[in-house]
Every structure is written in structure tokens, then in C-alpha cells.
């Protein structure tokens, strides 16, 4: 199964590590990167994606705001908020909004949880 995964994170290192882990397990996937919520929305407007990994604490729109906007452009797309902000209140808000919550650091386990969202 070939999927198009959008990784949104203001840390280039985090994007590259997640990309590496995902491609190890799913070498046929296509990975696209965005370094902000605004850039992610632009990318999705131009080309739909199958799965989104979204950081939470970013300059400009935060990850949840960006994810909610992204759902308006592409309803139903699975979105995981992959964040170091592991406060219970933040996790609850993310899950109430219908997004998956995955805690950083980016590990093989986090990458597996992300892939599972797409049924992979």
C-alpha cells in the first residue's frame, strides 16, 4: 500500500527522524514536509494526503488549530498530533477534537502508532 504522509514540524531533525523510521517500515510511502501549520494547509490545498503527523507547539498556528483547518480542506483525513507537550489537558483537547495524540520523542513506536492510523 502506498500512502502520502504529510509531516508538519518546525524541527527539521524531528521531520527527518520520523521520515526515516516510517520509510524503514513502509519504503513505498511518499513523505512530504511542512515546517508550519500555514505551509501544511497550502500543501494540502494543492495535493491531498492520506495521513498527517502534526507537531503542536509551533510559531503561527499551533498544531491543533492547523489540524482543524486541514480537516475543513480534506475531511476525514487521519491526523496525529505528535508532540512533546504531554500535559493531560492538552492531550484531552486533542482527543476531543478527534485527533490521535502521540507523545514525543520520535521513536519507532511513535512511527508505528502513526502508521496504524492509516491501517498500515
Partner 1 sequence: MTVQLDAEQIDALSEIFNIGVGKAAAAMGSLMHDEVLLSVPHVSIFTVSEAAQQLGATGSTMYGVRQPFRGAFNGDALLIFPGHKSLEIVRIVAGQSLPGEDLSAIEQDAMTEVGNVMLNACIAALSDLLGNEFQLSPPSIDIGDSRTILGTRIQNHLVVFLHIRFELLSSHIEGFVVFVLNTTSLEGLRAAVNRLLGRPAEVD
In the bound complex, what is the minimum distance in angstroms from residue 58's beta carbon to partner 1? 6
Binding of partner 1 by 53 (CB under 8 A): no
Binding of partner 1 by 11 (CB under 8 A): yes
- Please identify, using beta-carbon distances, which residue of 14 and 53 lies nearer to partner 1: 14
Write out the DSSP string of 65-118: HHHHHHHHHSTT--EEEEES---HHHHHHHHHTT-EEEESS--HHHHHHHHHHT
Q: Which of 85, 112, 113, 120 binds partner 1 (CB under 8 A)?
A: 85
In the bound complex, what is the minimum distance in angstroms from residue 33's beta carbon to partner 1? 13
> What b-and-e string marks burial along 97-112, b requiring 16 or more CB atoms within 10 Å of the CB?
eebbbbbbebeeebbe
Binding of partner 1 by 42 (CB under 8 A): no
Residue 13's H or E segment, with its range, is: helix 12-25
Binding of partner 1 by 58 (CB under 8 A): yes
Which residues bind to partner 1, rule: CB under 8 A? 10-14, 16-17, 20-21, 57-59, 83-90, 104-105, 107
Amino acid at each position: 500500500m502506498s500512502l502520502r504522509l504529510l509531516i508538519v514540524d518546525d524541527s527539521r531533525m524531528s521531520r527527518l527522524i520520523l521520515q526515516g523510521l516510517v520509510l524503514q517500515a513502509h519504503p513505498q510511502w511518499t513523505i512530504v514536509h511542512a515546517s508550519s501549520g500555514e505551509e501544511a494547509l497550502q500543501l494540502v490545498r494543492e495535493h491531498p494526503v492520506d495521513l498527517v503527523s502534526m507537531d503542536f507547539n509551533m510559531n503561527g498556528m499551533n498544531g491543533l488549530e492547523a489540524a482543524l483547518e486541514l480537516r475543513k480542506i480534506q475531511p476525514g483525513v487521519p491526523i496525529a498530533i505528535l508532540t512533546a507537550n504531554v500535559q493531560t489537558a492538552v492531550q484531552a483537547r486533542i482527543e476531543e477534537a478527534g485527533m490521535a495524540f502521540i507523545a514525543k520523542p520520535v521513536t519507532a513506536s511513535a512511527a508505528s502508532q502513526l502508521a496504524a492510523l492509516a491501517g498500515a
